[in-house]
Structure 1
Amino acid sequence: MKKSLSLCLIMLLLFTFTGCRITFNDDEFGEDVSLGEFIVSQFDDENFESVDGNVSFTEAYQNQEELALDFNFSVTEFNLNLEGTTEQLVETEATYNYEPLEPEFSISGDTKVNYSIKQKNLRSFTGRAESEINTKINANVITDMDLSMGVGEANIDLTDVKIRNVNIECGVGDLEVVANGIYDQEQSYSLEGGVGNSEFKMGGEFNKPVTFNVESGVGDTEIQCTGAFNEGGSISVEGGVGNIDLTLPANVGIKILTTGVNSASVSDQGKKVSLGLFEGYYTNDLYSEDGPYITVDITQGVGAIDINIQ
C-alpha cells in the first residue's frame, strides 16, 4: 500500500509513539532509555522497577515443511540467526529488565507451523528499559516472516534459511537484513519504515525472481544487490526524507525509473550518468524485454538517489 509521509506527520508520530518523547542526546527531561541511536526521554522513573528477566523457548524439528514467523515487539533489540541456525525447529532466548517487556510465545501446526513471539503494546513506561531477543530457526523449512517493531533495532541473517516472504514494519530504529545463501524459491521483501536507517545486503545466489517493496519515512535506505540474480526481479522504493543507495549486478539487464525533486546519479561500471530532474530513465546494455532483468522504480521525497551497477 502506497503512502505519503510528510516530515511534520513523522515528527508528530515521534512525540506520540508509546507516550514517549523521542530526542537525540538530550537529557533535559530526566531519565533516558537508550535504543540504538535514539534516546527515549522519560519524565520520571518513580514507577520503574528493574527485574532480571531471562526466558527461553525451544520447539523440536520433526521434519516440518513450512514455518510462519509472527513477531510483534514494542521495545527490543531483535537478532535472527546471528550465530547461525539451529537443529531445532525454533530456538529463542530473551532478556529484559522491565516486566511488561517479557515476550509471550505461542506455536501451532504440524507440517505447517506458526510461531509467534509478542511483547505487550506499551503506551507508556518510565525508566531505563532494556530488552534483547535472539532467535534461531531451522535451515530445512520454507519460512515466511512478519516482523513488527515499535522502538529498537533488528539484525536479520537469512543466509542459511529457505526464506520466501519477509514483511517488516518498523517504528523507530535501524534495520539490517543479510541474505548470502543459495535460494531456489521466489522471494519477496516488504518494508514499511518509520524513522531509522535500513540496509539490505543481498550477496547470495538467487535462482528465482526477487521482489523488493520499500516505503521509508525518515532515514537512509541502502540495498546492495551484489549476488547473482539469475532470474532478475523488481525493486520499488518510495522514500520520504533520506538518501537512497542502490547497488545492482552488472551481469543482468537493468531498467531504472526515478521520480523526485532531485536528479538521480547512476554509475554503470564506471560510466557516470545523471538522470533528469523530477523524472529519470535508464537501461544498461544487457537490458532486453526477453530478460532476465531487474526493474527499478524509485520515488524520492527529500534526499539523494545514487545507483551503482557493478
Structure 2
Amino acid sequence: MNLEPEVIAAGITALVTGVGVPAVFLQARAATKSAHAAREAAQATRDAGHAQAEAVYKAALDGARTHAQEQTEQWRREQRRDAWTEFLHNADHVEDLCTSKRHHASADVSDAWQALRRSLAKLELVGPRDIAARAHDVTKTLGGLIDDHYFITLVEPVFERLNAMRAEAHPYIVIGPGEDWPTCPPDHRACLAQDALHAIWRLTSTARAQGIAQPVVEAEEAVDSGEIADPRCYEDEPDERLRLLGEINGAYGDLVYGLDGVRGLPELDDHVLMTRACLDPSEFYRQHESRVTAFSAAREAFLTAAQEEIVGTAS
C-alpha cells in the first residue's frame, strides 16, 4: 500500500505531539517543585534570621537586666554601709557622753540619743535583719548608760547636797540621854531623806537576796495592785515578801517627802530615782561598769556581723 507523503507527515506530527505533551507536563512539575523548594529555603532563611534577632535581643535584654540588678545591689550595699557607719558613729558619741569624766548637759545627751534612734530606724529599713538585731542590742545597752548619766549628773549631786545639809544641821543638835547619835529635827527634810535613803539601801539589799530584782518598783506595783492592802500597816502583813515590800514602799515615800521639802533641789525623774535609789554608790558603780562592758561587747558583735556581711556580698 502506497501512502501519500502528506499522510506520512501528518502521522509523524501526531506521534511527536503525543510524546511531547507528557514531557512538557513533567518539566512543569519539576519547575513547581523547584519553586516550592526555593520558597521553603527562603522561609527557613527568614526563620533563622528571626531566631538570631530574637536571640540577640534576649541577650541584650538579659545583659541590661543583669547590669541593672548589679547596679541595684551596689546601691543597696552602699546604703547599708552608710547606715551602719552612721549608726556606729552615733552610738560611740552617746557612749562618750555617758562615760566621759566631764559632765555633759542633759540636752546634749538627749540630742545624741535622738540621733541614735533616727539612725537605728534608717538601719532597720536597709537591713539586713541580723545587723538590725545587733544594732538593737547596742541601743539597749546605751539606754542603761543614759540612765546612769542622768543619775550621775542630776541625782547624785542632790544626794551630795543632802549630805552637806545634814552635816550642817547635826552640830546644832543636842544628844539626848542614852542616845548614841544625834536626832535630827522633825522638820529637817534633808535628814529625813538621807535616813530614808539608807533604809532603802538596807531593805533592798535584803530584797535582792530574796530574788526581788527591782525592789522599789515591785513595792509600788504591789501597793497599786492592792496586793498590799494598807501600806501604812505593813508590819502586820503575815507574808514576809509583802511585809518587806511594804517597808520599802514606806521608806521610798519618806525619801520623796524629804526631797520635796528641801528648797532648791531639782525635780528628779521618778523612774530613775526608783531604780537607782535602791543601789548604794558602790553597787551603782559596779553596775555602771558592767553596762560599759556590755556596750563594748554589743558593739563588737555588731561590727563583726557587719564585716561578715560585707565580705559575703563581695564574694
**TM value normalised by structure 2:** 0.22
Structure that is richer in helix per residue: 2
Structure that is richer in strand per residue: 1
Greater Rg by CA: 2
**TM value normalised by structure 1:** 0.22
